[in-house]
Structure 1
Amino acid sequence: MLLYYLAAIFKGLHPRVDDDFVDKLNYHYTSAIIFAFAIIVSAKQYVGYPIQCWVPAQFTDAWEQYTENYCWVENTYYLPLTSAFPLEYGDRRARQISYYQWVPFVLALEALCFYIPCIMWRGLLHWHSGINVQSLTQMACDARMMDADARAATVQTIAGHMEDALEIQREVTDVSGMCVQKRWANYVTLLYVFIKMLYLGNVVLQVFMLNSFLGTDNLFYGFHILRDLLNGREWEVSGNFPRVTMCDFEVRVLGNVHHHTVQCVLMINMFNEKIFLFLWFWYFMVAFVSAVSMFHWIIISFLPGQHMKFIRKYLRATDLATDRQSVKKFVHKFLGYDGVFCMRMISAHAGDILATELIVALWHNFNDRVRKIQFNSTESLNH
Structure 2
Amino acid sequence: MYKLLGGLANYFKYREIVVDCAIFRMHNVFTCALLSACSLIITANQFVGNPIQCIVDGLPNNVVNTYCWISSTFTMPDAFQRQVGTEVAHPGIANDFSQDGAQKYYTYYQWVCFVLFFQAVACYTPKVLWEVSENNLMRTLVMGLNIGVGREKEKNQKKEIVLGYLMDHLKRHNLYALRYFGCECLCLINIIVQLYLMNKFFDGEFLSYGWRVMKFSDQAQEDRIDPMVYIFPRVTKCIFHKYGASGSIQKHDSLCILPLNIVNEKTYIFIWFWFMILATLLTVLVLYRIVIIAYPKIRARIMHAKNRSIPIEVCRSLCSKVDVGDWWILLMLGTNMDHIIYREIISELVKKIPVEAGAGGH
Q: What's the TM-score once normalised by structure 2's chain length?
A: 0.78
Q: CA–CA distance in 2 between the matches of 1:43 and 1:229?
A: 31
Cα 1:347–1:237 shift into 2, 3 Å: closer
CA RMSD of superposed structures (Å): 3.6
The separation in 2 between residues aligned to 1:369 and 1:149, in whole angstroms, is 32
What's 2:201 paired with? 213
CA-to-aligned-CA distance 1:136-158 (integer Å, 9 cap, x gap) = 2x436534343544333322222
* Contact 1:37 1:275 (8 Å CA) reproduced: yes
Give the drift of 1:89.
Answer: 6.0
Please state how far the C-alpha of 1:190 moved relative to its aligned partner. Answer: 1.8
Q: Aligned with 2:20: secondary structure?
A: coil
- What displacement does 1:367 show? 5.5
In the TM superposition, 1:140-219 aligns within 5 A as: 142-166=146-170, 169=172, 186-216=174-204, 219=207
Which structure has more helix as a fraction of its residues? 1
- For 1:180, the equivalent position in structure 2 comes to none
CA contact (8 A) 1:52 1:264 kept: yes
Alignment coverage as a number of residue pairs: 329
Q: Select 1:68's aligned residue among 43, 46, 65.
A: 65
Distance 1:227 1:207 in 2: 21
Aligned to 2:334: 347
User: Match for 1:98 among 90, 107, 130?
Assistant: 107
Unaligned segments of structure 2, at least 5 residues: 1-6, 89-93, 358-362
TM-aligned CA distance change 1:305 to 1:55, over 3 Å: same
CA–CA separation in structure 2 for the residues paired with 1:146 and 1:78: 70
Partner amino acid, structure 1, of 2:66: N
Report if aligned partners of 2:212, 2:227 keep a CA contact under 8 Å in 1.
Answer: no
Kindly provide the amino acid, as one letter, of the partner of residue 280 in structure 2.
F
**Which one has a bigger Cα radius of gyration?**
1
Distance of aligned partners of 1:151 and 1:293 in 2 relative to their CA distance in 1, 3 Å threshold: farther
The whole-number CA distance in structure 2 between the counterparts of 1:113 and 1:237 is 26
Deviation at 1:25, TM superposition (A): 0.3
Q: Quote how far apart the aligned CAs of 1:132 are.
A: 1.8
Q: Does 1:241 align with 2:232?
A: yes
Aligned 1:216-227 pairs, distance under 5 A: 216=204, 219-227=207-215
Distance 1:133 1:142 in 2: 11
Counterpart for residue 86 of structure 1:
96
Is 2:140 aligned against 1:132?
no
1:292–1:323 distance in 2 versus 1, CA, 3 Å: closer
Q: Which residue of 2 aligns with 1:176?
A: none
Match status 1:250 vs 2:241? yes
Give the AA of the match of 2:243.
R
Output the CA distance in 1 between the equivalents of 2:315 and 2:210: 56
Q: Deviation at 1:211?
A: 2.0
SS at match of 1:166: coil
Give the Cα–Cα distance (whole angstroms) in 2 for the partners of residues 75 and 250 of structure 1. Answer: 14
Which of the numbers 265, 268, 271 marks the counterpart of 2:257? Answer: 265
Residue 191 of structure 2 contacts residue 279 of structure 2 at CA under 8 Å; is this kept in 1? yes
Instruction: Pick closer, same or farther for the CA change 1:164–1:251 going to 2, 3 Å.
Output: farther
CA contact (8 A) 1:343 1:355 kept: no
Structure 1 residues 300 and 141: CA distance shift in structure 2, 3 A: farther
Residues 303 and 339 of structure 1: CA distance in aligned 2, closer, same or farther (over 3 Å): same
Following the alignment from structure 1 to structure 2, what is the Cα–Cα distance between the partners of residues 311 and 96?
Answer: 56
| Secondary structure of 1:17's aligned partner | coil
SS, match of residue 207 in structure 2? coil
> Residues 361 and 246 from structure 1, CA distance in 2 versus in 1: closer, same or farther, beyond 3 angstroms?
same
Distance 1:212 1:230, change over 3 A: farther
1:114 is paired with a residue of what secondary structure? helix
Alpha carbons 1:235, 1:241 under 8 Å: kept: no
Whether the 8 Å contact between 1:143 and 1:151 is mirrored in structure 2 is: no
Q: Which amino acid aligns with 1:355?
A: Y
Partners of 1:163 and 1:236 in 2: CA distance = 61
1:47 has 2:48 as partner: yes
Match of 1:357 in 2: 344
Change (3 A) 1:305 1:196: same
Aligned-residue offset at 1:230: 6.2
SS of the residue 1:146 aligns to: coil
The SS at the match of 2:254 is strand
Distance 2:282 2:149 in 1: 32
- The residue aligned with 2:290 is 298
TM superposition shift of 1:67: 0.3
- Percent sequence identity over aligned pairs: 25
TM-score in terms of structure 1 length:
0.74
Aligned partner of 2:31: which letter?
A: T
Q: CA deviation at 1:106?
A: 0.6
Cα distance change on mapping 1:303 and 1:78 into 2, 3 Å: same
In 2, Cα distance between the equivalents of 1:237 and 1:352? 51
Tell me: CA distance 1:135–1:284, structure 2 relative to 1, closer, same or farther (3 Å). farther
Q: Which amino acid aligns with 2:119?
A: E
- The structure 1 segments of at least 4 consecutive aligned residues displaced by more than 6 Å after TM superposition are 311-316
